[in-house]
Structure 1
Amino acid sequence: MSLPVLVALVVFGIALSVAAVHFTGGTKTATLAGSDQALSRFAEDFPDEVATTVRLTADARTAFLDLRNGRTGIVQSIGDCFLTRIVTASDIVALDVNDSGAISLKLADFTWKGGRFAFADRADTEAVAAALRNLDQAREAA
């Protein structure tokens, strides 16, 4: 078999594989249907935790949950799955709220570094930022 034919077959095979993954839903990003789904997904990983308030980001890819003892739960979509975390004071490396009302959060966890989160409601942005700042201030006081 000549080299050009082999190259063409390999390129065609790779393109076919990528198309198959895309058309079977492999490139779909998960979103949360609402607060109930966020609570349910969080309860799968942390059944003993009780969330008092759930705040969804504008794109419905992340939910922040107020937990007891001043901790914050997070449900974040990663691809077509969800990642759940409980954030404590020692997890926060940096926290910033920019002029557009988005929260930038950097965590010490090497498996998930945080991200930028925008909320549809400014009150949600301020409530999540206040909860995370309280965690950050508790860490600095310790």
Structure 2
Amino acid sequence: MSLPVLIAIVVFGIALSVLAVHFTGGSKTATLGSADQALSRFANDFPDELATAVRLTVDSRTAFLDLGRGRTGIVHSVGDCFLTRIVTPADVVALNVDDAGTLSLRFADFTWKGGRFTFADEADAGFVTAALAPAQPDQAKEAA
């Protein structure tokens, strides 16, 4: 078999495989339809945790749950699945909020570094920022 024919067969086979994955739902992105769905999904992984408030992002891909005692639950879509985490301010490496209310988070966890999250309500962005803001050394001294 000549090399050009072999290359054509390989390229066609790869393209066919990619199309098959796409059309069978492999490229679908999961979204959260409501706060109840976020609570339900979080409860699958953490059945003993009780959330008092849920804040969804505009794109419905992420929910932040208030768990109390300085902990925040996160439900975030990754492809067609959901990733769940419980984080504290100690887990946050960087936190920035821009004028549009978009929150940028970076976590110390190497399995999920964080991302950019936009909320429809500035109060929601403010809550998540306050809940995850790392304690400043000056504030820690004042509290002691």
Q: TM-score, normalised by structure 1?
A: 0.94
Per the alignment, residue 87 of structure 1 pairs with 87
Which of 128, 134, 137 is 2:135 aligned to? 137
The 1:20/1:3 distance shift into structure 2, 3 A limit, reads same
Distance 2:47 2:74 in 1: 14
Unaligned 5+ residue runs, structure 1?
A: none
Cα deviation 1:60-96 (Å, max 9, x = unaligned): 0000000021210000000000000000122111111
Contact 1:89/1:138, CA 8 A, preserved across alignment: no
How many residue pairs get aligned? The number is: 140
Q: Which amino acid aligns with 2:36?
A: D
Amino acid at match of 1:122: E
TM-score, normalization: structure 2?
0.93
CA RMSD in angstroms comes to: 1.5
Mapping for residues 1-142 of structure 1, pairs under 5 Å: 1-133=1-133, 136-137=134-135, 141=140
Moved over 2 A (4+): 138-142
Question: Which residue identity does 2:140 align to in structure 1?
Answer: A
Q: Distance in 1 between matches of 2:136 and 2:69?
A: 12
Residue identity (%)? 72
CA–CA distance in 1 between the matches of 2:128 and 2:22? 35
Q: Deviation at 1:138? A: 7.4
Q: Structure 2: how far apart are the matches of 1:40 and 1:57?
A: 17
CA distance in 1: counterparts of 2:103 and 2:27, whole angstroms? 26
Partner Cα separation in structure 2 for residue 89 and residue 122 of structure 1? 20
CA contact (8 A) 2:75 2:82 kept: yes
Structure 2 residue runs of 5 or longer lacking an equivalent are: none
Q: How far, CA to CA, are the matches of 2:104 and 2:26 in structure 1?
A: 28
Using the TM superposition, name which of 97-106 and 124-133 deviates more. Answer: 124-133
Structure 2 Cα separation of the partners of residues 141 and 71 of structure 1 = 18
Distance 1:73 1:141 in 2: 24
